[in-house]
Chain A
């Protein structure tokens, strides 16, 4: 089971990193979302894998999993959402101000022509 989890985290990280290295904002945001899945999972499993023993105190329970990483990850999930939201808004803002969604430092490129054309027209019109 540990190997499967390690594999999942590895694949999520690799996919996240690959997407984060793309030149447009949207794939970067998706990549960061994948990375945050990986990070949250990693943090969660540092409490080791326990099956069927939630940390809810009761008389019938035979044991409990470690609640601390869970508490950390719970807030981390919510904060990741806030971060994703913030970044995607930055992307929108950048597109409004710069007229492009590129993040590779080339400001001359602009959007692909088939999409840029009608939008440009709309902006001026």
Chain B
């Protein structure tokens, strides 16, 4: 199961790294380093497997019904990427420790970085496509956090948002593609998918599926026309750029191309789409890179160009091209990471990244200059450096590919042009920065960076050199297994030697080098031309325009629908519901009345019905006299609970009764702060319209009820009735359903109640409302103290009420009652003390801090559920036993009662929290309460 841990460790470590930052600035750097190392160690036992020709698959069932497993896979390709992610990640962690300034929060940085690292590892190690997609989206989110790390900067925020929008939309398209792919194959497992190439390619939905998946890959890998987000992501701190744009984020797209290469490639659609995107990206990136004055801008566009190169190689589609693609992935990761780090050092030491001002740094930092030169040479494709090898293979592949096609000169010429630009911009990176006269007006005097800041660059540059000079002894085995992982079969023969004799590829390399030098020498007129052309090809403008249009549209829709009037919204809502219901009913041919046997009506029921309807109508008629309407409504609740009694629902009747009391108290307390009267505002026409709408809604509800009640039905009730006693250990089936069968639902419901309570607490905190000075009829408010007889009585009644509540709670499992009802009764008993004795009197005897009660209730509920996991049962499985107590007799002990206790505590806590804080507001609303004028006091 070590692969799970490889992915999981960075996620856990992210929290730890953020947390330890409170113990000192550098602690999170150490922690992050340790976490990356731990993840690497977790990977270690499996490293040999791909070399032995094995593909490791480790699987934990998650949601098997949806074909989603926590399944991880390690083959050559996954191993290569995991090593790059962790290796370069470690170097970036070391580098960032010196790069970040004092005022930057280290904990946040390393937390985000580890989050991102875990997501990337998840992508490359996933066996399941849906799991892969989840990690894919996580990289979008965590890279958003990383790019916007300097939140105070506008460009960081917009850049991050753009990256998220583009890659997020791509991810959405990819989800569609994956679902199509999974449905074609019948499985979301990569092992199955990778073995079904022919099936997939011959599917009629192949093309839409390919387009959707490629949209995901291209947006992530910044392929034209989605390349524009990448340069704007340069607003991130340089360590982030070094990580995201060398080995990780943008490589996720090409990783996906490589991963699905065996099943998607080999068709005309693939060649056209992938090669087209690759070639245009290669050229556009190389062109723009040359003319960027920003050091990181140059690197950003060169990254785009190199990603285009890799994409183009996969687009060519031959096995050898795929090998070259994998090879260039490795090489680009090493030289680009070191170049970004060098650019970061220069930025750090000079205080600017503008190449028009940074000149002649060779005098100040020759060592960094040497390192940068090596890396730039690798980027340009100079012999003896690693970039040369993969670029030679690339040139060779384009020639081989074109040999069989018309216009065979076109592709090789285009890539040579790109090569010329690559040499020119690499040359510019070195010449402009380290030579070319003296620095212009730098904010700081540059000097060599701290020793350890150079170490990551040194390591990467050493790899560039070693791979470039001794490929067969360094990269060859890893490249071979990675290529096997891509092709899912043994790779073709290839030769990693530096010298292959004079062939087309060598001539193209020489042409690119010579052309690049000439281009750079004659750059002045070209720069002038580029300045004139700037802005013509700005994809960002298109993006901004689209975004603005979308926002304007959303705004217009919202403004049309929502004018700030609740009445209007409710009217739209009710009318829509009515229309949908009517259309649905008229559309079918079912009769209104079914053939279920009807119950005969009796006189009492008739009386209750008449009473209920009268009271309901009275509430409406009296609604402008608010207090009266509220009291009348209280009667309504009592009548409803009578209905529950009549139709065999004692639990509901008890609940309704107690909720009714609490609701009326609540509304009375609230009404104190509201006008006592509703003015008559609606016009006659308005009222007639509303009566019409209300009549229709009521008629609809009545018709619906009638047609439901007159139809026979099948219920799953038998299961609950049969299993309640043997399975749940309780005779009251309603309660057993609540705390046992559907305990998870109940846990959710008490969480909602707790949230409502806490939300109300948050709203009432600091809320100051004036209380009324006179009542509805203009009589001055009475400040008399609480009536003595009532106060004495409620104090006497309290123990009795609590006893009743305990009784109701304990018998709940077998007879009507339970946590909900008992909680409400307790709450009412305590509220009565507030009402009768006043807030101060009660507060001096009881805590007003109810958060712990709510917390304890939720905790008990959760722990009861988790306890069953410990014993190996599903969440919230209940256990019960019968114990014999002397004197009392047989006594049932069920774990569900602990859960019910949680319910009880949450209900008590939330109800009291709401009412007590509302009551406290009363107290605060008249601090000048005229106590001396209260003769009954004391």
Whether A4 pairs with B709 at a CB distance below 8 angstroms is no
Given A51-B646, A77-B659, A86-B760, check contact A45 B708 (CB 8 Å).
yes
* B residues less than 8 Å from A6 (CB atoms): 702-703, 705-706, 709
Among B567-599, those with CB < 8 Å from A are 567-568, 570-571, 574, 596, 598-599
Given A6-B706, A41-B640, A65-B648, check contact A56 B753 (CB 8 Å).
no
User: Which among B565, B605, B619 is the interface contact of A4 at CB below 8 angstroms?
Assistant: B605
Given A30-B630, A33-B633, check contact A112 B724 (CB 8 Å).
no
Given A37-B640, A77-B652, check contact A45 B709 (CB 8 Å).
yes
- Judged by a CB distance under 8 angstroms, whether B731 is at the interface is yes
Complex: chain A residue closest to B620, CB-CB: A15
- A3 CA to B600 CA in the complex, in Å? 10
* A residues less than 8 Å from B663 (CB atoms): 33, 81, 84
Whether A78 pairs with B666 at a CB distance below 8 angstroms is no
Whether A48 pairs with B596 at a CB distance below 8 angstroms is yes
Complex: chain B residue closest to A103, CB-CB: B566
User: Which among A10, A18, A92, A107 is the interface contact of B705 at CB below 8 angstroms?
Assistant: A10
A 53-68 binary contact with B (CB < 8 Å = 1; else 0):
1111110000011111
Among B769-805, those with CB < 8 Å from A are 769-770, 772-774
Complex: chain B residue closest to A50, CB-CB: B648
User: Which among B616, B650, B666, B738 is the interface contact of A88 at CB below 8 angstroms?
Assistant: B666
- A84 CA to B624 CA in the complex, in Å? 19
Whether A79 pairs with B914 at a CB distance below 8 angstroms is no
Whether A64 pairs with B721 at a CB distance below 8 angstroms is yes
Given A54-B816, A70-B652, A77-B659, check contact A7 B701 (CB 8 Å).
no
- A18 CA to B574 CA in the complex, in Å? 11
- A75 CA to B659 CA in the complex, in Å? 11
Given A14-B695, A19-B623, A111-B675, check contact A103 B567 (CB 8 Å).
yes
Stretch of B4-12, B676-684, B874-882 on the interface side: B676-684
Whether B609 pairs with A88 at a CB distance below 8 angstroms is no
- Judged by a CB distance under 8 angstroms, whether B716 is at the interface is yes
Given A17-B574, A75-B820, check contact A56 B678 (CB 8 Å).
no
Whether B674 pairs with A95 at a CB distance below 8 angstroms is yes
Whether A41 pairs with B706 at a CB distance below 8 angstroms is no
Whether A64 pairs with B717 at a CB distance below 8 angstroms is yes
- Report the count of interface residues on B (CB-CB < 8 A): 121
Complex: chain A residue closest to B681, CB-CB: A23
* B residues less than 8 Å from A34 (CB atoms): 616, 619, 633, 636
Whether A3 pairs with B706 at a CB distance below 8 angstroms is yes
Complex: chain A residue closest to B755, CB-CB: A82
- Judged by a CB distance under 8 angstroms, whether B68 is at the interface is no
Given A21-B570, A30-B623, A55-B721, check contact A48 B612 (CB 8 Å).
no
- Judged by a CB distance under 8 angstroms, whether B544 is at the interface is no
User: Which among A9, A55, A103 is the interface contact of B648 at CB below 8 angstroms?
Assistant: A55
Whether A67 pairs with B636 at a CB distance below 8 angstroms is no
A4, A9, A47: which has the most chain B beta carbons within 10 Å? A4
* B residues less than 8 Å from A46 (CB atoms): 708, 713
B730 → A minimal CB distance (Å): 8
B538 → A minimal CB distance (Å): 42
Given A56-B731, A104-B567, check contact A37 B682 (CB 8 Å).
no
A 69-108 binary contact with B (CB < 8 Å = 1; else 0):
0110111011111111110111111011000010111110
* B residues less than 8 Å from A71 (CB atoms): 734, 737-738, 742
* A residues less than 8 Å from B636 (CB atoms): 34, 37
Whether A19 pairs with B715 at a CB distance below 8 angstroms is no
* B residues less than 8 Å from A106 (CB atoms): 565
Whether A49 pairs with B666 at a CB distance below 8 angstroms is no
Among B345-374, those with CB < 8 Å from A are none
Whether A82 pairs with B753 at a CB distance below 8 angstroms is yes
Among B638-654, those with CB < 8 Å from A are 640, 643-644, 646-652
B605, B663, B701, B720: which has the most chain A beta carbons within 10 Å? B701
A74 → B minimal CB distance (Å): 5
Whether B678 pairs with A27 at a CB distance below 8 angstroms is yes
A33 → B minimal CB distance (Å): 7
Whether A45 pairs with B647 at a CB distance below 8 angstroms is yes
Complex: chain B residue closest to A120, CB-CB: B770
Whether A67 pairs with B720 at a CB distance below 8 angstroms is yes
- Report the count of interface residues on A (CB-CB < 8 A): 93
User: Which among B626, B630, B677, B713 is the interface contact of A48 at CB below 8 angstroms?
Assistant: B713
Whether A79 pairs with B674 at a CB distance below 8 angstroms is no
Whether B670 pairs with A88 at a CB distance below 8 angstroms is yes
* A residues less than 8 Å from B757 (CB atoms): 82
User: Which among A14, A75, A81, A92 is the interface contact of B745 at CB below 8 angstroms?
Assistant: A75
- A12 CA to B616 CA in the complex, in Å? 7
User: Which among B609, B650, B681, B705 is the interface contact of A42 at CB below 8 angstroms?
Assistant: B705
* B residues less than 8 Å from A55 (CB atoms): 648, 717, 720-721, 732-734
Stretch of B51-59, B216-224, B229-237, B686-694 on the interface side: B686-694
Whether A119 pairs with B770 at a CB distance below 8 angstroms is yes
Whether A2 pairs with B706 at a CB distance below 8 angstroms is yes
- A106 CA to B567 CA in the complex, in Å? 11
User: Which among B617, B659, B732 is the interface contact of A11 at CB below 8 angstroms?
Assistant: B617
B929 → A minimal CB distance (Å): 13
* B residues less than 8 Å from A47 (CB atoms): 715, 717
B793 → A minimal CB distance (Å): 26
- Judged by a CB distance under 8 angstroms, whether B469 is at the interface is no
B652 → A minimal CB distance (Å): 6
Given A21-B693, A75-B745, check contact A90 B763 (CB 8 Å).
yes
Whether B678 pairs with A24 at a CB distance below 8 angstroms is yes
User: Which among B571, B671, B703, B760 is the interface contact of A21 at CB below 8 angstroms?
Assistant: B571
- A24 CA to B626 CA in the complex, in Å? 11
Whether B701 pairs with A56 at a CB distance below 8 angstroms is no
- A64 CA to B697 CA in the complex, in Å? 33
- Judged by a CB distance under 8 angstroms, whether B868 is at the interface is no
* B residues less than 8 Å from A30 (CB atoms): 619, 623, 629-630, 633, 667
Complex: chain B residue closest to A78, CB-CB: B820
- A107 CA to B564 CA in the complex, in Å? 9
- Judged by a CB distance under 8 angstroms, whether B550 is at the interface is no
* A residues less than 8 Å from B652 (CB atoms): 44, 70, 73-74, 77
Whether A67 pairs with B717 at a CB distance below 8 angstroms is yes
- A83 CA to B760 CA in the complex, in Å? 10
Complex: chain A residue closest to B778, CB-CB: A114
Given A17-B694, A55-B734, check contact A82 B770 (CB 8 Å).
no
* A residues less than 8 Å from B640 (CB atoms): 37, 40-41
User: Which among A8, A21, A103 is the interface contact of B613 at CB below 8 angstroms?
Assistant: A8
- A24 CA to B568 CA in the complex, in Å? 13
- A20 CA to B623 CA in the complex, in Å? 11
Show 27 A/B contacts (Cβ-Cβ < 8 Å), sorted by A: A8-B613, A9-B701, A11-B613, A14-B699, A15-B619, A17-B693, A18-B694, A21-B694, A28-B566, A30-B629, A34-B636, A44-B652, A47-B717, A49-B647, A49-B709, A50-B647, A52-B648, A56-B732, A58-B731, A64-B717, A64-B721, A65-B647, A70-B649, A70-B651, A89-B670, A89-B918, A109-B681
Q: A18-B691, A81-B659, A89-B763 are in contact. List 12 more A-B contacts (CB 8 A).
A: A2-B599, A13-B701, A21-B574, A46-B708, A48-B596, A68-B715, A77-B659, A82-B752, A86-B760, A88-B666, A95-B674, A115-B677
Residues of A within 8 A of B (CB): 1-15, 17-30, 33-34, 37-38, 40-42, 44-58, 64-68, 70-71, 73-75, 77-86, 88-93, 95-96, 101, 103-107, 109, 111-112, 115, 118-119, 122-123
Residues of B within 8 A of A (CB): 563-568, 570-571, 574, 596, 598-602, 605-606, 609, 612-613, 616-617, 619-620, 623-624, 626, 629-630, 633, 636-637, 640, 643-644, 646-652, 655-656, 659, 662-663, 666-667, 670-671, 673-679, 681-682, 690-691, 693-695, 697-706, 708-710, 713, 715-717, 720-721, 724-725, 731-734, 737-738, 742, 745-746, 749, 752-753, 756-757, 759-760, 763-764, 767-770, 772-774, 814-816, 820, 824, 907, 910-911, 914, 918
